[in-house]
């Protein structure tokens, strides 16, 4: 995995944080951090924990909601778990409401992590601890910790999977591909894209890969709202404009929802099935992989991520030191946020049975 080095206090670090969602130097050694003063003080076990989640754009968010409700209650906390399906303003209001209700810790899976500054300041002023969940909260000092899968590595795995899938279909290039990215208001979207491009860009430069449309930048590849219909519409346009007689060999897709939309577009255009990547291990995409359609996905076990967030909550509640494994990489534009990063796993048809052996739902699909 590529390693970037920044000086936190330098202006260039801030610029990097804004353009690459704060990815800096990666460390792998587990460390301990005491975090902010709110974490050091601790709070009563029966306290209110707020969890603010984004829109229900994928299965993993729905699962996270259920797990947070069940597991926080099981740990003895009062849980206020909400989705902001109507957008950023709703999430702002929800977080403010959690502060008003006296939440001692607020977990935030942001729609747009740059637009919650006022509410996060109110949370910190009230003495609450703020934990960014899955998506980094940016341009604010008022976030204590970040818990997520290693999202740059997700992109690296996707880029490698695309190359491997292309080679499996045709031993040598050149290969015609297109690039898709997630929603520009999601801090993770550019991290995924940058990780993938760290693998793909050298192959584009040496001619192994050809992006026929010429659309190679993040801004050209974005999919607003992570919406399948937006991805399918763009793929329709790309096929119509660039693939009249040319073969579409592969597509970098940042998640499963978009991958299925891309495959639908190719099928409706009468194109042979391209190699398409994904992420999230959604049921329909796992079925598609086993059917030989979608090539790959990423297993980011939501159960493990929620468990990590709740373990962090328990440590903070008890006033203990909080376990993190990266205190250098995630500069949010104002501060470096201590992070606990989990390892993502690439899944293709070849390793699906092993990858999902402990998942009661997905294991039944890959026998």
pLDDT digits (tens, 9 = 90+) for 18-58: 333 444 433 333 444 444 444 457 999 999 999 999 988 77
Closest by Cα among 126, 90, 2, 39 to 318: 39
Which pLDDT score is estimated for 40? Answer: 55
Q: Where in the chain is the domain with CATH 3.40.50.2300?
A: 11-143+301-342, 152-300+348-365
- pLDDT at res. 354: 96
Continuous segment of H or E residues that includes residue 51: strand 48-53
| DSSP string over 263-282 | HHHHHHTTPPPPEE---S--
pLDDT in tens, 55-105: 887 788 999 999 999 999 999 999 999 999 999 999 999 999 999 999 999
Alpha helices in 126-186 (DSSP H): 151-169
> Residue 200: which pLDDT band, with cuts at 50, 70 and 90?
very high
Which of the listed CATH numbers 1.20.1260.10, 3.40.50.300, 3.40.50.2300, 3.90.76.10 matches domain 152-300+348-365?
Answer: 3.40.50.2300
Q: Are 26 and 1 in contact (CB under 8 A)?
A: yes
d(CA 108, CA 131): 6
- Is a pLDDT exceeding 90 seen at residue 7? no
CATH code for residues 11-143+301-342: 3.40.50.2300
pLDDT digits (tens, 9 = 90+) for 206-237: 999 999 999 999 999 999 999 999 999 999 99
pLDDT score of 56:
87
User: What does the mean pLDDT of the chain come to?
Assistant: 90
């Amino acid at each position: 995995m590529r390693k970037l080095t920044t000086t936190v206090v330098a202006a260039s670090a801030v610029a990097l944080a804004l353009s690459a969602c704060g990815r800096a130097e990666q460390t792998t050694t587990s460390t301990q951090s005491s975090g902010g003063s709110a974490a050091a003080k601790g709070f009563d076990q029966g306290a209110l924990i707020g969890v603010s989640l984004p829109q229900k754009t994928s299965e993993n968010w729905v699962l996270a909601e259920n797990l947070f409700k069940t597991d926080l209650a099981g740990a003895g906390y009062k849980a206020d778990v909400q989705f902001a399906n109507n957008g950023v303003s709703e999430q702002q209001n929800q977080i403010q409401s959690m502060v008003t209700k006296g939440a001692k810790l607020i977990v935030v899976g942001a729609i747009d992590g740059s637009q919650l500054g006022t509410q996060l300041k109110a949370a910190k002023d009230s003495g609450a601890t703020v934990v960014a969940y899955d998506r980094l909260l940016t341009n604010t000092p008022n976030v204590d910790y970040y818990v997520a899968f290693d999202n740059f590595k997700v992109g690296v795995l996707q880029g490698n999977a695309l190359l491997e899938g292309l080679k499996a279909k045709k031993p040598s290039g050149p290969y015609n591909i297109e690039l898709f990215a997630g929603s520009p208001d999601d801090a993770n979207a550019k991290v995924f894209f940058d990780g993938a491009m760290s693998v793909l860009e050298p192959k584009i430069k040496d001619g192994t890969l050809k992006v026929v449309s010429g659309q190679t930048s993040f801004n050209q590849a974005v999919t607003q709202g992570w919406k399948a219909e937006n991805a399918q519409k763009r793929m329709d346009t790309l096929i119509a404009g660039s693939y009249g007689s040319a073969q579409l060999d592969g597509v970098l897709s940042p998640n499963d929802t978009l991958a299925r939309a891309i495959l639908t577009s190719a099928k409706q255009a009468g194109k042979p099935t391209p190699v398409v990547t994904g992420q999230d291990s959604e049921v329909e995409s796992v079925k598609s992989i086993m059917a030989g359609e979608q090539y790959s996905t990423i297993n980011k076990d939501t159960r493990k991520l929620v468990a990590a967030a709740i373990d962090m909550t328990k440590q903070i509640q008890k006033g203990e030191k909080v376990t993190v494994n990266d205190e250098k990489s995630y500069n949010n534009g104002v501060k470096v946020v201590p992070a606990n990063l989990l390892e993502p796993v690439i899944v293709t048809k070849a390793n699906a049975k092993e990858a999902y052996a402990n998942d009661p739902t997905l294991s039944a699909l890959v026998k």
